[in-house]
Amino acid sequence: MVKYNDHPLYCFLSPEEKKLLKTIVKSQSFMAHETIINLGERNRDIVCLEEGSVSIQVEDFEGNVREVTRIHSGNLVGEMNFIIPTRRTANVVALTFVEADIIPFAKLCALLKEYPLLAEKIFSALSLQLKDKYLGMINA
């Protein structure tokens, strides 16, 4: 499989395949401090951070907010939620101006069902992201 670039989701896609995927992608901007994902939501969209940084925040029993980590452009948010159906486990809040590609769950599933080669490539890209996340955790 040819790796065209280091994009976390589009890295294995040819220009034509990227164009096809882009037909369902919603590009959205967020201002600093704006919430991108709310804890507890059932939403399973994948968010590609194209520009800017976000804070991943959880709340304790008393409602105090604690930052768990920060994620910067060139990374995905919510990719595990796309694979395994759970509620969103954290708030995602823009730290800076954020430009994001949002890939809607239902539309992506429909597209991947129709185009198996696209599915193989998207799943392979997700696999690299998950592998890095897993290695980061076991090497911490």
| Cα dihedral 36, 41, 47, 49 sign | positive
Q: Is 58 in the site for another protein (CB under 8 A)?
A: no
Nearer to another protein among residue 33 and residue 133 (C-beta): 133
Q: Where are the alpha helices (DSSP H) in the chain?
A: 15-22, 79-83, 105-114, 116-139
Q: Which is nearer to another protein, 23 or 138 (CB)?
A: 138
Residue closer to another protein (CB basis): 98 or 118: 118
Counting every residue written for the chain, the total comes to: 140
Residue 56 in contact with another protein, rule: CB under 8 A: no
Rounded Cα distance, 104 and 113, in Å: 14
Residue 124 sits in the site that holds another protein (CB under 8 A): yes
Cβ contact 92:80 at 8 Å:
no
Nearest distance from C-beta of residue 48 to another protein, angstroms: 17
Q: Where do contacts with another protein occur on this chain (CB under 8 A)? A: 44, 80, 82-85, 105, 109, 112-113, 116-117, 119-120, 123-124, 126-128, 130-131, 133-135, 137-139
